[in-house]
């Protein structure tokens, strides 16, 4: 509510020259200059308190840029560049279109140009409908606070309302950055840090001299930036960084390393490398002939070269993947499996790990190809939707803190998902082989090879499913143990645990059905693919669609269209192949070409 009050005050004084300090110069151009080629290295590393932890300014800049613009890099601005540019050139940014409004119904409601996605702060600050909305929100918040809280606080917000709220938050964020309120860079040992603007969460009437010193360093830094003087900026940044670091309570080697590593991690973007390498590896595996073909000598030696190359690419991918994962663990001080982004990364890794185990047993490169493809898809999904899947590192809610069982339970369950993802990939390949046989007819020359391949794939799928069932059963039970340990009840019909159970039941039904005459190899592949929908529901649906229950620390929204579309495409693929299969086997029954 405080946020909204702050926002209301925006309409009273729109970014008057009273921005932080008196550093605003006369604007020279329409557009704030981009500072390409600047390293910002010391600036990035300045510690800031935000979102309940101490992080480098670089992470803060990335979160702010992503939230306001919905992009990692807005118009080529490095996030750090963007952050400092906002405070240095507020006038230019005020009239620049960079605030994202992603929903068309919200744009319509605000009577804005529906064909645009980006709007300038000044357009929005002067938008009467938005002002009205902010006022209403404010009134209802005030009402529910004084009237003993019996209004509709328990109600879920619609996506439209969420987006409206987000637009207000984006504007507030911009204003707070421009005014200096968001820069909580002046450390205080007891209580929250103080912002550049002075107030912060707890305003202390006499500003100590040390605080003023840090402020002065930032004024130097901003002035150097405005002047376009890179050397002066770097000098001022390094002074400011040293000044802030010297006052951070409990500053030690570990903290310095952790912040430095975080800047490195932000810049490196290891998962992007990982998926590129996975993809390259998968393509290389695809063109290296497998064991099932009989090869001549020179073919075999060229195949060996390609396999070594493929293996190297894939190993590099795994190194990037695991390395990024370990860095994240070190920075966060916990295993990173507490939100969608982190769990996708972990599950992609799990898929590859299982495929590697199966590869060690049976030496079939198809498992590696399928796993690399799945990891690529997973990492691209995690990487390309930062607005939906928050890549930021955030503190945990109390129940998740220092808990051994959390780690075990979540890791086990998600490893189960990995195994099922692998069955999904393998079953899809199986279905494709069935389709090829159906197309070519049972007498085609490569039919025996395809049949052998189907049998192997079926075996692999079955094995991966066994991994999945054991892990999901164990993980669900461990969830019970954890719930018993934390809340005193083993099983509380919480939707997340119920859906894990439903997924388990679906796979158990497939495995039991395999023992009856109901499920034969073709049906096994079909139902394996269909059963994965229950995993999608347990993994994504409960948090993003149902949005209820005790696992509320993982709730978010967005992306439903993509996920439903993906599941729909997958099921359509199965349906087409199944119909084709039924049709061809009917035809074969009607007119048997040859006796087998």
Q: Contact residues for other proteins (CB under 8 A)? A: 49-54, 138-139, 142, 146-147, 149-155, 184, 192-193, 201, 395, 397-399, 401-403, 463, 466, 469-470, 473-474, 477, 480-481, 484-491, 493, 495, 498-499, 501-502, 505-506, 508-509, 512-513, 515-516, 518, 534, 542, 545-549
Q: How far is the CB of 209 from other proteins (least distance, A)?
A: 22
Given the complex with other proteins, which of 121 and 200 has the nearer CB atom? 200
Place of tokens 């005020």: 94
560/133 Cα distance (integer angstroms): 26
Given the complex with other proteins, which of 95 and 151 has the nearer CB atom? 151
Q: How far is the CB of 219 from other proteins (least distance, A)?
A: 23
Q: How far is the CB of 114 from other proteins (least distance, A)?
A: 32
Centre a 10 Å sphere on the Cβ of residue 564 and count the other Cβ atoms it contains: 14
495/497 Cα distance (integer angstroms): 6
Given the complex with other proteins, which of 271 and 467 has the nearer CB atom? 467
397/401 Cα distance (integer angstroms): 7
Given the complex with other proteins, which of 92 and 245 has the nearer CB atom? 245
The residue among 127, 121, 118, 125 whose CA lies nearest residue 100 is 118
Tokens matching residue 531: 């059963």
Given the complex with other proteins, which of 293 and 481 has the nearer CB atom? 481
15/174 Cα distance (integer angstroms): 10
The residue among 538, 577, 583, 334 whose CA lies nearest residue 433 is 577
Q: How far is the CB of 456 from other proteins (least distance, A)?
A: 12
Given the complex with other proteins, which of 201 and 300 has the nearer CB atom? 201
Crossing angle (nearest 10°) for helices 495-515 and 404-440: 40
- Nearest-10 Cα torsion for 190, 192, 198, 204: -40
Q: How far is the CB of 563 from other proteins (least distance, A)?
A: 16
The residue among 377, 369, 527 whose CA lies nearest residue 458 is 527
Q: How far is the CB of 494 from other proteins (least distance, A)?
A: 9
Q: How far is the CB of 557 from other proteins (least distance, A)?
A: 13
Given the complex with other proteins, which of 432 and 491 has the nearer CB atom? 491
Place of tokens 């049949």: 451
The residue among 149, 131, 129 whose CA lies nearest residue 140 is 149
The answer to whether 44 touches 58, Cβ cutoff 8 Å, is: yes
Given the complex with other proteins, which of 295 and 397 has the nearer CB atom? 397
353/347 Cα distance (integer angstroms): 10
Q: How far is the CB of 238 from other proteins (least distance, A)?
A: 25
Query: How far apart, in Å, are the Cα atoms of 25 and each of 20, 217, 279?
Result: 12, 18, 50
DSSP 538: I
Q: How far is the CB of 391 from other proteins (least distance, A)?
A: 19
Given the complex with other proteins, which of 34 and 53 has the nearer CB atom? 53
């Amino acid at each position: 509510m405080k946020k909204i009050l702050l926002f209301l005050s925006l309409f009273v004084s729109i970014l008057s020259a009273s921005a932080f300090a008196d550093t605003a110069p006369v604007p020279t151009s329409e557009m704030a200059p981009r500072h390409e080629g600047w390293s910002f290295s010391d600036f990035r590393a300045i510690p800031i308190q935000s979102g309940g932890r101490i992080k480098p300014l670089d992470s803060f800049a990335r979160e702010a840029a992503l939230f306001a613009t919905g992009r990692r890099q807005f118009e080529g601005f490095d996030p750090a560049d963007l952050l400092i540019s906002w405070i240095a050139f507020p006038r230019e940014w005020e009239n620049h279109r960079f605030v994202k409004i992603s929903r068309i119904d919200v744009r319509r409601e605000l009577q804005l140009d529906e064909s645009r996605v980006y709007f300038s702060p000044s357009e929005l600050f002067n938008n009467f409908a938005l002002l009205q909305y902010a006022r209403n929100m404010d009134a209802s918040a005030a009402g529910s606070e004084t009237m003993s809280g019996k209004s509709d606080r328990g109600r879920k917000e619609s996506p439209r309302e969420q987006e409206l709220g987000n637009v207000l938050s984006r504007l507030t964020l911009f204003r707070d950055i421009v005014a200096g309120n968001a820069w909580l860079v002046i450390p205080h040992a007891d209580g929250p840090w103080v912002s550049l603007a002075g107030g912060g969460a707890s305003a202390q009437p006499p500003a100590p001299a040390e605080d003023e010193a840090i402020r002065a360093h930032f004024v130097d830094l901003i002035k150097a930036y405005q002047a376009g003087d890179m050397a002066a900026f770097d000098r001022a940044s390094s002074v400011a960084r040293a000044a802030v670091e010297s006052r951070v309570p409990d500053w030690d080697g570990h903290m310095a390393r952790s912040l430095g590593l975080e800047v490195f991690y932000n810049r490196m973007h290891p998962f992007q490398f990982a998926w590129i390498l996975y993809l390259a590896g998968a393509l290389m595996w695809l063109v290296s002939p497998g064991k099932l073909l009989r090869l001549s000598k020179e073919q075999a030696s060229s195949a060996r070269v390609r396999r070594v190359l493929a293996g190297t690419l894939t190993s590099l991918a795994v190194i990037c993947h695991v390395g990024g994962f370990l860095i994240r663990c070190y920075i966060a001080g916990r295993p990173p499996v507490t939100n969608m982004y982190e769990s996708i990364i972990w599950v992609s890794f799990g898929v590859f790990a299982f495929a590697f185990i199966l590869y060690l047993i049976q030496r079939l490169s198809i498992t590696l190809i399928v796993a690399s493809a799945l990891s690529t898809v997973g990492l691209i999904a995690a990487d390309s939707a930062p607005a939906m899947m928050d890549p930021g590192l955030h503190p945990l809610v109390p129940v998740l803190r220092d808990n051994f069982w959390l780690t075990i339970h979540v890791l086990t369950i998600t490893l189960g998902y990995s195994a099922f993802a692998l069955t999904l990939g393998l079953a899809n390949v199986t279905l494709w082989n069935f389709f090829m046989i159906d197309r070519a007819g049972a007498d085609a020359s490569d039919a025996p090879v395809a049949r052998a391949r189907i049998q192997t794939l079926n075996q692999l799928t079955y094995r991966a499913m066994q991994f999945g069932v054991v892990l999901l059963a164990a993980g669900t039970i461990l969830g019970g143990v954890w719930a018993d340990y934390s809340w005193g009840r083993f099983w509380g019909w919480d939707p997340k645990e119920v859906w894990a159970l439903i997924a388990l039941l679906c796979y158990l039904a497939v495995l039991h059905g395999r023992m009856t005459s109901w499920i034969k190899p073709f049906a096994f592949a079909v139902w394996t693919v269909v059963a994965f929908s229950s995993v999608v529901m347990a993994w994504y649906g409960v948090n993003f669609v149902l949005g209820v229950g005790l696992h509320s620390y993982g709730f978010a929204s967005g992306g439903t269209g993509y996920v439903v579309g993906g599941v729909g495409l997958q099921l359509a693929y199965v349906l087409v192949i199944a119909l084709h299969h039924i049709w061809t086997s009917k035809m074969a029954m009607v007119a048997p070409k040859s006796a087998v």
